[in-house]
């Protein structure tokens, strides 16, 4: 029996990469998988024979666990081992060096995509790619309510996508000006306009100034355990996932496609590595291509419905944790027995 102890960064990625996996392992196998906040690390390995550290910058913690007889896995799902030159990404030199040394000391590294694995394999060549898979019990059924004849073009994500939102703003503005029945919805990032400086500091700079307030809505994010429910209340008709072309985004995974598809939303995605291989979706290389693809979906509701149903079926068939959690178990066994 494996005794796995994970110390997570307590973000959304902690759920995708560790907490939801632990739930499946505990329910379906003889193994024991417990998750803790990384801030709770005291040097006690809690009887674990495998210790997983998620995105930590404490190399000494890894060495300490190894001295106590545990195998250590370093889990990462973002490229943070090099400076990427973007305002919203932590380019702190101490952070980068701490993560780099942590990766070097680990017995194994697990990550989300082959692109990211290739970026860090020079630091540790014992690296296993474990894709992100959606937990059906967490996500539930697709959103079914149609609010009215308005066509809602939507985006959802975190603050690391600030540059991507700036990139797509001219496209959104152009679409809204051309189609009176469209509305833009963004959730989790993008900021708000306010007469109060403290409000803008709290929620971020309004990246969509210049787009009338009655043509757009900004919604706050929520805790990961409630996101599957809240996302459905956004009622997108067309979901978008723009990415600027840089190393950080190249190493991202297709989470947005999985979430959008599970909600039954047709999508337009940047034709970049996270989405290069997805099916039943429209892709765009440039802002002008984004404009054309969104325009096509606005004018072809039957295509929206077709893409939505087919992409959801693809996720359920190939991208559920319910089917794929054994890949994680096999990687952990390999680490323990190597």
Q: What is the mean pLDDT of residues 158-163?
A: 90
pLDDT at 286: 98
275 half-sphere exposure, CB direction, 13 A CA radius: 26
Q: How far apart are CA 310 and CA 316, in angstroms?
A: 10
Q: What is the mean pLDDT of residues 53-70?
A: 95
Query: What is the model's pTM?
Result: 0.94
Per-residue pLDDT for 140 more than 90?
Answer: no
CATH class of segment(s) 138-318: alpha beta
Compare 337 and 23 and report the one with higher pLDDT.
23
- H helix intervals, the chain: 12-14, 20-28, 59-67, 93-105, 114-120, 136-139, 162-178, 197-203, 224-232, 247-250, 255-262, 287-299, 301-318, 321-337
DSSP string, 118-152: HHHTTT-S-EEE----B-HHHH-SPP----SS-EE
pLDDT at 320: 97
Location of structure tokens 């189609």: 179
Pick among 3.40.50.1820, 3.40.50.720, 3.40.50.2000, 3.30.70.60: CATH of 3-133+321-337: 3.40.50.2000
Contact 160, 12 (CB under 8 A): no
Per-residue pLDDT for 200 more than 80?
Answer: no
Q: What is the mean pLDDT of residues 293-311?
A: 97
Per-residue pLDDT for 90 more than 70?
Answer: no
pLDDT band, residue 142 (cuts 50/70/90): confident
Q: Tell me what the pLDDT averaged over the chain comes to.
A: 93
Q: What is the mean pLDDT of residues 173-197?
A: 89
pLDDT at 145: 64
Q: At 36, which helix (H) or strand (E)? A: strand 32-37
Lookup: tokens for 38: 């990384």
Domain ranges of the chain: 3-133+321-337, 138-318
Q: Which of 303, 237, 290, 282 is CA-nearest to residue 264?
A: 237
Q: In sequence order, which residues have a C-beta less than 8 Å from that of residue 80 and are 6 or more positions away?
A: 55, 89, 90, 95, 96, 99
């Amino acid at each position: 029996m494996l005794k796995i102890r994970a110390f997570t960064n307590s973000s959304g990625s902690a759920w995708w990469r560790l907490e939801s996996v632990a739930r499946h392992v505990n329910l379906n196998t003889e193994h024991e998988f417990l998750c803790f906040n990384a801030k709770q690390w005291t040097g006690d390995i809690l009887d674990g024979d495998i210790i997983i550290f998620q995105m930590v910058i404490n190399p000494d913690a890894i060495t300490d666990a190894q001295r106590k007889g545990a195998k250590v896995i370093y889990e990462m799902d973002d490229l943070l081992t090099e400076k990427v030159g973007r305002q919203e990404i932590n380019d702190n030199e101490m952070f980068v060096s701490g993560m780099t040394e942590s990766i070097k000391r680990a017995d194994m590294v697990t990550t989300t995509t082959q692109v990211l694995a290739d970026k860090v394999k020079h630091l540790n060549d014992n690296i296993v790619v474990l894709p992100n898979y959606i937990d059906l019990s967490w996500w539930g059924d697709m959103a079914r309510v149609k609010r009215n004849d308005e066509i809602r073009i939507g985006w959802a994500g975190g603050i690391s996508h600030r540059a991507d939102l700036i990139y797509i703003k001219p496209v959104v503005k152009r679409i809204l000006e051309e189609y009176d029945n469209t509305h833009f919805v963004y959730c989790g990032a993008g900021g708000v306009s306010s007469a109060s400086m403290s409000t803008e500091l709290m929620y971020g700079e309004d990246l969509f100034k210049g787009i009338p307030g009655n043509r757009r809505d900004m919604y706050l994010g929520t805790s990961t355990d409630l996101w599957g429910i809240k996302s459905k209340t956004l009622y997108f008709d067309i979901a978008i996932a723009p990415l600027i072309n840089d190393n950080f985004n190249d190493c991202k995974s297709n989470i947005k496609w999985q979430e959008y598809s599970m909600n039954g939303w047709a999508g337009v995605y940047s034709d970049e590595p996270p989405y290069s291989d997805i099916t039943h979706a429209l892709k765009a290389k440039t802002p002008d291509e984004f404009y054309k693809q969104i325009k096509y979906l606005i004018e072809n509701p039957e295509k929206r419905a077709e893409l939505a149903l087919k992409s959801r079926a693809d996720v359920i068939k190939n991208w559920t944790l319910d089917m794929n959690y054994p890949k994680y178990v096999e990687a952990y066994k390999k680490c323990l027995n190597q």
